[in-house]
Amino acid sequence: MTTTVPKVFAFHEFLGVAEAVADHVVYAQNSALNRGLKEKKSSSTSLNSTSGMRETSSGGKKKKEARFKIALSGGSLIHVLREGLLKREDVQWGKWDIYFADERLVPFESPESNYGLAKREILDRIDTEKYGRPNVFHIDEQLIGDPQECAENYEKVLIKGFAGRDSVKLPMFDLFLLGCAPDGHIASLFPNFQENLREKLAWVVPVENAPSGPANRISLTIPVICHSHRVTFVVEGATKAPVIKTIMERPEKGLPSSIVNEGAAGRVSWFVDDEALRDVFVTKKKYKFHVDGDE
Ligand SMILES: O=C(O)[C@H](O)[C@@H](O)[C@H](O)[C@H](O)COP(=O)(O)O
């Protein structure tokens, strides 16, 4: 039996999953902003297109500003983030560029919309006077009737945000947050949707006939996810125990979550509660702020 144990299983004697995830996110935010500052010092002329830098102008001079680029999935993750992040004082919301790992092609006001959920649960509740307002990059709601066009359009949004595709093979998110469904799908990349799972060139793919939830979706692709500085899974509850066992013990089954767990090895963290880990034998480590070997 092969066992793939990721770098970190996050546990803490005192912190709940929401608090531990929030610590991790803030750690990722701070490292990204520090990295951005260092890059700013070392390169005053050329824009490093994969980094979290944005150009702003003041008094005719262009200034580069460090940004934290994060991708959010939908589902329970959003509630975990709401619980963990909104009460913190050290989230620099005004420096965040928020993208979506995937989107269900429904109106934003639908309870099924990932952006809609994030907006209602988190974005509308940020004290923007105090913390600033994040940049939020969602799909074009006008295009929900056409998955292909919607995917192409969202790819253009990413290209713009990551400073052009010519110079950048892949965007590099500072943090890519994923949930994992009982069937092993992540973002909107489903098991057996081989074409999407094998996609090498596109950053965003259309998804039609999804086996659960809204049928039409778009999703960022495996190469984009795996290129991120950090990839973090948040998985809770007994319904996830079988899939966690499969991911950890049967990577050869090739679930989308396993592909990412392997593909981003060394940069992957898992925040999993006891119920979801019920069937897996792991040496539980106490919660750490960052993956081993990280800065
Ligand atoms: O739009 C989606 O379907 C989500 O992005 C999806 O990938 C989600 O993360 C998982 O289905 C887990 O969802 P739960 O955490 O709610 O089980």
Helix (H/G/I), strand (E/B), else coil: 117: helix
- Note the pLDDT of residue 165: 56
Question: From ligand 1's centre to the CA of 29, what distance in Å?
Answer: 23
- Note the pLDDT of residue 261: 92
- Note the pLDDT of residue 35: 86
- Note the pLDDT of residue 29: 97
Domain ranges of the chain: 10-38+65-272
Pocket-testing residue among 70, 73, 260, ligand 1, by greatest number of atoms within 8 A of Cβ: 73
- Note the pLDDT of residue 11: 55
What residue owns the CA closest to ligand 1's atom 9?
Answer: 179
- Note the pLDDT of residue 121: 98
Q: What are phi and psi of 201, to 5 degrees?
A: -100, -45
C-beta of 213 in contact with ligand 1 (< 6 A): yes
C-beta of 184 in contact with ligand 1 (< 6 A): no
Separation between Cα atoms, residue 262 and residue 139, nearest integer Å: 29
Give the chain's end-to-end CA distance (angstroms, integer): 33
Separation between Cα atoms, residue 141 and residue 41, nearest integer Å: 39
Q: Does domain 10-38+65-272 have CATH number 3.40.50.1360?
A: yes
For residue 9, the one-letter residue type is: F
Question: From ligand 1's centre to the CA of 25, what distance in Å?
Answer: 18
C-beta of 186 in contact with ligand 1 (< 6 A): yes
Pocket-testing residue among 70, 105, 180, ligand 1, by greatest number of atoms within 8 A of Cβ: 180
C-beta of 73 in contact with ligand 1 (< 6 A): yes
What residue owns the CA closest to ligand 1's atom 15?
Answer: 76
- Note the pLDDT of residue 59: 47
C-beta of 104 in contact with ligand 1 (< 6 A): yes
Question: From ligand 1's centre to the CA of 178, what distance in Å?
Answer: 8
**Atom number in ligand 1 closest to CA 178:** 9
pLDDT by position in tens, the chain (length 295)? 344 445 445 555 566 789 889 999 999 999 999 988 777 666 544 433 344 455 544 444 455 689 999 999 999 999 999 999 999 999 999 999 999 999 999 999 999 999 999 999 999 999 999 999 999 999 999 999 999 999 999 999 999 999 765 667 899 999 999 999 999 999 999 999 999 999 999 999 999 999 999 999 999 999 999 999 999 999 999 999 999 999 988 989 999 999 999 999 889 988 888 888 888 866 555 444 334 334 4
Pocket-testing residue among 102, 144, 270, ligand 1, by greatest number of atoms within 8 A of Cβ: 102
Helix (H/G/I), strand (E/B), else coil: 228: coil
Query: Is the predicted ipTM greater than 0.90, yes or no?
Result: yes
Question: From ligand 1's centre to the CA of 166, what distance in Å?
Answer: 32
For residue 205, the one-letter residue type is: V
**Atom number in ligand 1 closest to CA 77:** 15
What residue owns the CA closest to ligand 1's atom 2?
Answer: 74
Of 96, 103, 104, the residue nearest 136 (C-alpha): 96
Of 165, 166, 62, 70, the residue nearest 122 (C-alpha): 70
C-beta of 181 in contact with ligand 1 (< 6 A): yes
Separation between Cα atoms, residue 264 and residue 192, nearest integer Å: 21
**Atom number in ligand 1 closest to CA 240:** 17
